[in-house]
Homo-oligomer: A and B are copies of this chain.
Amino acid sequence: MDTIAQLRRDAETIYRRAIEAVNPKTAIRSHVELRGQKLVCDGKILNLDEFKHIYLVGAGKAGAAMAAAMEDLLGARLTAGLVVVKYGHLAPVKKTAIIEAGHPLPDHNGVEGARKLAALVEQAGEDDLVICLISGGGSALLPLPAAGLTLEEKQQTTQALLSCGADITEINAIRKHLSRLKGGQLARLAAPAATISLILSDVIGDPLDSIASGPTVGDPTTFEQCLNIIDKYRLVETLPPAIMDHLRQGASGSIAETPKPGDPLFSRVSNHIIASNRQAVEAAADKARELGYHPLILSTFIEGETREIARMHAAIAREIHHSGNPLPSPACVISGGETTVTITGSGLGGRNQEFALAAAFDLAGLADTVILSIGTDGTDGPTDAAGAIVDGQTIERARTLGLDPRTYLDNNDAYHFFSPLNDLLITGPTNTNVMDIRLILTGKANKAG
């Protein structure tokens, strides 16, 4: 097998292993176990004998798969369950009700699901346990407006905040204060029951209070701060009057604040990240080492404009080739996180496919090197591909087929570029989401795959 063919095959083996490591079932099995009547999760021990009822609730794209894994573990101990998932993101469950709802745009199915979920946890008492399953998309899938507000008013608010340039921390502060579940309020509804949250992180740095807007985590932000943010962006006249009324009433003390970190209610709450981008890249590193590559994890914190970040990856590939820095071949450089594409064209693609296409230019002519980028959820943009793979011959092969690479990149049309080249990575939905993985593979590995 020539080197490029082997590198491509090894790259596929490595990314499949990385995604497998953050599969909801794998994640739950590797972090949660039953020892007799004890449920053990990352050092936290819950004696199930002490609980009259055990409720399973959750929201997110991985919700159904996580519920199925927890059902397997709990068996007859489970009292009831309800998870809200994105349309089509199903898994075989027995006792848990699955409600499908809109994502990324919340819909009334989501509101209905959130209402039922709130009712379920509200009935839990001091002798009960609520197991909360959180994954990417959980925020949009649990859209329960605070009393007196509508979903539409919340959406208008989010839209106005996005357009005015508010940052994600500011937007989340306001969203939590317009919701009945976000910002620790799900845990407050569940109290005095004990709550354990199992979390698949799709946010850079795994900040507990941001993932799915932190429904079981103390919220450091206040109504007062929300009003200041709205002032700062001069949105007082823009936002729906009901929203402004609600926030002002909150600031004056007539609506309860979100529960703060350190609030006594959290003494019976524990939160656990059971899968994250770092776990995926670490699994990739292990597999790469096993295949004979020197692995190097660059960063799981990578954000920024996709095509520029791609250029920097290609620059590292070229340096490996020319000087053996930052590490000698055979090398596997791994990065994670999630970049963004500023769309200027009208083509079809996603950030991972665009990453691969942008990298191909600076990789052109380089021997024995491949670069791939893939979304761990198996979906890249509005396409059936999860990402794409390129090597030093990609640009030339495309030109031979009559494709002008620059035109496709300028039009954000990476899907139609890679499709005839057969360089799309297609996995189907993976039922998990820990953002993206990128690999640079160089040189001839010395072991069989």
Q: Does A50 touch B at the CB level, under 8 Å?
A: no
Kindly report how many copies of this chain are found in the complex they form together: 2
A20-39 vs B, Cβ < 8 Å mask (1 yes, 0 no): 00000000000000000000
> Does B325 contact A298, Cβ atoms closer than 8 Å?
yes
> Does A362 contact B303, Cβ atoms closer than 8 Å?
yes
Q: How many A residues have CB within 8 A of the partner chain? A: 27
> Does A301 contact B278, Cβ atoms closer than 8 Å?
no
Residues of chain B within 8 A of A304, CB atoms compared: 308, 311-312, 315
> Does A322 contact B362, Cβ atoms closer than 8 Å?
no
Residues of chain B within 8 A of A300, CB atoms compared: 319, 322-323
> Does A302 contact B315, Cβ atoms closer than 8 Å?
yes
Partner of A318, one of B205, B305, B312, B325: B205
- Tell me the bound Cα distance from A296 to B327 in angstroms: 9
Q: Does A326 touch B at the CB level, under 8 Å?
A: yes
- Tell me the bound Cα distance from A311 to B318 in angstroms: 20
> Does B303 contact A316, Cβ atoms closer than 8 Å?
no
Q: Does A97 touch B at the CB level, under 8 Å?
A: no
Known: A303-B362, A308-B309, A362-B303. A297 touches B326 (CB 8 A): yes
> Does B278 contact A323, Cβ atoms closer than 8 Å?
yes
Q: Does A238 touch B at the CB level, under 8 Å?
A: no
Q: Does A228 touch B at the CB level, under 8 Å?
A: no
How far, in Å, is A388 (CB) from chain B's closest CB? 19
A287-315 vs B, Cβ < 8 Å mask (1 yes, 0 no): 00000000011111111110011011011
> Does A318 contact B296, Cβ atoms closer than 8 Å?
no
Residue of B nearest to A310 (CB): B304
Residues of chain B within 8 A of A296, CB atoms compared: 325-326
| Complex interface residues of chain A between 314 and 355 (CB less than 8 A to chain B) | 314-316, 318-319, 322-323, 325-326, 337
Residues of chain B within 8 A of A325, CB atoms compared: 296-299
- A residues with a Cβ closer than 8 A to B are 205, 278, 296-305, 308-309, 311-312, 314-316, 318-319, 322-323, 325-326, 337, 362
Extra 17 A-B pairs, beta carbons < 8 Å, given A296-B326, A299-B318? A297-B319, A297-B325, A299-B316, A299-B325, A299-B326, A300-B322, A301-B315, A301-B316, A301-B319, A301-B322, A301-B362, A303-B315, A304-B311, A304-B312, A305-B305, A308-B308, A312-B312
Sample of 21 A–B contacts (CB below 8 Å): A205-B318, A205-B322, A278-B323, A296-B326, A297-B325, A297-B326, A298-B319, A298-B326, A299-B316, A299-B325, A299-B326, A301-B316, A301-B319, A301-B362, A302-B312, A302-B315, A303-B311, A303-B315, A308-B308, A309-B311, A315-B337
